[in-house]
C-alpha cells in the first residue's frame, strides 16, 4: 500500500485535510487522528520527523502552523516521503501563492484533487508540479 493516509493538522490539533487510502470507519479515523496528533505535535522542532505508531510509521513535517503527516508502511523510504511532503507544499504554494491554512480550508476540494493527481492507491504516481496542476488549472479556467 505504501502510503496509508495523509493528514494535515494545524497547531491546535484540528484536522484540516484527511485522505485515507485504506478503509477505516469514522471511529477508527477519529481515534487514529487523536493518537497521532498527540504523539507528533508534542515533539520538538529539533527532533526527528519519524514516529513509529502501531504497525506503521508516520513521517511528518511542519510548515508554519500546519503539520503534514503521512502514514506509511514500515519499509517505505522515510526521506522520500519527506521529499513528497515538500513537493506537495511546493505544489500548493505554486497554485495558491504562499499557501496557508486558510487556503486549504477554503479549497479543500482542490487540495484533494492535487493529492489525487500525486498519489493513487497509495503509490506516488506524479512528481511533476506542472503535471499535477494542469487539470486543476484547466478546471479553474472552465468554471
Contact footprint for other proteins (CB under 8 A): 1-2, 14-18, 21, 23, 26-27, 29-30, 43-44, 46-52, 75, 77-80, 82-83, 105-106, 108-109, 112, 116, 120-128, 131, 135, 138-139, 142-143
75 CA to centre of own chain: 19
State the CB neighbour count (10 A cutoff) for residue 71: 25
Nearer to other proteins, 17 or 100 (CB): 17
Fill in the DSSP letter of residue 1.
-
Kindly state the smallest distance separating residue 122's Cβ from other proteins, in Å: 7
Nearer to other proteins, 47 or 65 (CB): 47
Kindly state the smallest distance separating residue 98's Cβ from other proteins, in Å: 20
Kindly state the smallest distance separating residue 85's Cβ from other proteins, in Å: 12
Show Cβ contacts of residue 58 under 8 Å, excluding neighbours closer than 6 positions: 36, 39, 40, 50, 51, 52, 69, 70, 71, 72
3-state secondary structure 24-53: CCHHHHHHHHHHHHHHHHCCCCCCCCEEEE
Virtual CA dihedral for 100, 92, 4, 74, nearest 10 degrees?
-90
Kindly state the smallest distance separating residue 75's Cβ from other proteins, in Å: 7
Amino acid at each position: 500500500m505504501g502510503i496509508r493516509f495523509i493528514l494535515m493538522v494545524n497547531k491546535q490539533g484540528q484536522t484540516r485535510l484527511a485522505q485515507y487510502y485504506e478503509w477505516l470507519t469514522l471511529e477508527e479515523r477519529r481515534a487514529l487522528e487523536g493518537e497521532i496528533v498527540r504523539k507528533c505535535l508534542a515533539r520538538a522542532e529539533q527532533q526527528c520527523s519519524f514516529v513509529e505508531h502501531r504497525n506503521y510509521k508516520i513521517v511528518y513535517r511542519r510548515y508554519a502552523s500546519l503539520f503534514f503527516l503521512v502514514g506509511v508502511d514500515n519499509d517505505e523510504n522515510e526521506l522520500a516521503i519527506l521529499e513528497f511532503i515538500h513537493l506537495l507544499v511546493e505544489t500548493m504554494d505554486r497554485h495558491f501563492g504562499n499557501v496557508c491554512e486558510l487556503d486549504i480550508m477554503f479549497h479543500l476540494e482542490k487540495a484533494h484533487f492535487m493529492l489525487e493527481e500525486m498519489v493513487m492507491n497509495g503509490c506516488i504516481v506524479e512528481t511533476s508540479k506542472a503535471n499535477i496542476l494542469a487539470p486543476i488549472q484547466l478546471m479553474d479556467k472552465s468554471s
